[in-house]
């Protein structure tokens, strides 16, 4: 009989994969990997503020990631510096601030290794509610704005002409990415959370002929990676978070051997 902590870990991994799969497709299509990395750097600041204010760390991480996504969007519009430079500055600034806050909390022992590389085996009932609640909200938001999200991905200017609220839809996508990073932090840690978003989507590219199929395949690959990584960690006594990412990476490597499936018209115009 499986222990309760392992069942909760399985549930947490599956829930995170359900949220990360479809969002990861848009991250891959829109080349937002560096943006996701910048948001992931805010995880430590969120954890530090959560512990300092005595609130659930995952909620604080969620709030910090959302705020960082909003700040990045607003600063990007000013065009004062290049987007890459802006992402680099903010990412490392918030990371450094998180370290400084942790250093000042001398009376509180902080397990930085758990936050850096994940601690999926410590997932509790509250974490499960937050993870699956986030997955449900992400799924509902994507279903609501799926066509608009695809439109701005294919051609932003044409989408604006067609009446799509481009900036609001883009901001929604960034908020969804922030939410996925907040819950994924518990599963694989801040250093690997972007891999949980990107790798399944990248692996699904050669397995799907339409955006919808790619989103479904990315979700399935994420679930298989979470389950396979957890069992690998159990059998070989290795860290669970990195094991999940390695399983996903192995699937990605295998996907490169597959023939490219036929592309839809939308994919030929820009979604690949």
Q: Specify the DSSP element, H or E, that contains 9.
A: helix 4-29
Which tens digits make up the pLDDT trace of 48-66? 888 888 888 778 888 898 8
Mean predicted confidence (pLDDT) in 212-227 = 95
Look at residue 259 in the predicted model and tell me its pLDDT: 78
Beta strands in the chain, from DSSP E residues, in sequence order: none
> Which of 185, 201, 231 has its CA nearest to residue 37?
185
On the question of pLDDT at 14 being above 90, the answer is yes
Look at residue 110 in the predicted model and tell me its pLDDT: 60
Which tens digits make up the pLDDT trace of 30-48? 888 888 888 888 888 888 8
Spell out the residues 6+ positions from residue 258 whose beta carbon is closer than 8 angstroms to its own: 206, 207
Q: In the predicted model, what is the mean pLDDT of the chain?
A: 86
Which tens digits make up the pLDDT trace of 144-198? 999 999 999 988 889 888 888 988 998 899 889 989 998 888 888 888 889 999 9
Residue corresponding to tokens 């609501």:
144
DSSP 8-state code for residue 55: S
Mean predicted confidence (pLDDT) in 114-133 = 84
> Which of 203, 207, 257, 263 has its CA nearest to residue 228?
203
Look at residue 266 in the predicted model and tell me its pLDDT: 47
End-to-end CA distance of the chain: 44
On the question of pLDDT at 101 being above 60, the answer is yes
Look at residue 217 in the predicted model and tell me its pLDDT: 95
Look at residue 151 in the predicted model and tell me its pLDDT: 93
Q: Torsions phi, psi of 201, nearest 5?
A: -65, -40
CA 162 to mean position of chain CA atoms: 29
On the question of pLDDT at 272 being above 60, the answer is no
Report residue 200's pLDDT band, with 50, 70 and 90 as the boundaries: very high
- What residue ranges define each of the domains in the chain, with the CATH number in brackets? 4-191 (1.10.3470.10)
Residue 146 burial by Cβ neighbours in a 10 Å radius (0-12, 13-18, 19+): middle
On the question of pLDDT at 264 being above 60, the answer is no
Spell out the residues 6+ positions from residue 5 whose beta carbon is closer than 8 angstroms to its own: 121, 122, 123
Report residue 211's pLDDT band, with 50, 70 and 90 as the boundaries: very high
């Amino acid at each position: 009989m499986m222990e309760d902590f392992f069942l909760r870990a399985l549930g947490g991994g599956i829930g995170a994969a359900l949220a990360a799969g479809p969002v990861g497709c848009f991250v891959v299509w829109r080349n937002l990997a560096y943006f996701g990395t910048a948001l992931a750097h805010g995880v430590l600041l969120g954890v530090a503020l959560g512990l300092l204010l005595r609130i659930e760390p995952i909620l604080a991480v969620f709030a910090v990631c959302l705020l960082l996504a909003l700040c990045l969007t607003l600063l990007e519009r000013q065009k004062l510096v290049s987007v890459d430079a802006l992402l680099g500055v903010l990412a490392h600034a918030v990371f450094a601030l998180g370290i400084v806050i942790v250093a000042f909390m001398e009376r509180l022992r902080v397990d930085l290794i758990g936050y850096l590389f994940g601690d999926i085996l410590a997932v509790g009932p509250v974490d499960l509610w937050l993870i699956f609640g986030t997955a449900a909200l992400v799924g509902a938001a994507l279903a609501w704005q799926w066509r608009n999200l695809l439109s701005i991905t294919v051609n932003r200017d044409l989408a604006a002409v067609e009446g799509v609220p481009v900036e609001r839809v883009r901001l929604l996508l960034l908020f969804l990415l922030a939410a996925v990073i907040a819950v994924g932090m518990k599963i694989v840690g801040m250093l690997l959370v972007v891999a949980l978003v990107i790798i399944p989507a990248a692996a699904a590219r050669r397995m799907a002929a339409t955006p919808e199929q790619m989103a479904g395949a990315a979700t399935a690959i994420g679930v298989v990676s979470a389950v396979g990584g957890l069992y690998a960690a159990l059998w070989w006594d290795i860290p669970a978070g990195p094991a999940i990412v390695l399983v996903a990476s192995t699937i990605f490597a295998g996907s490169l051997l597959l023939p490219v499936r036929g592309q839809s018209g939308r994919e030929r115009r820009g979604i690949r």
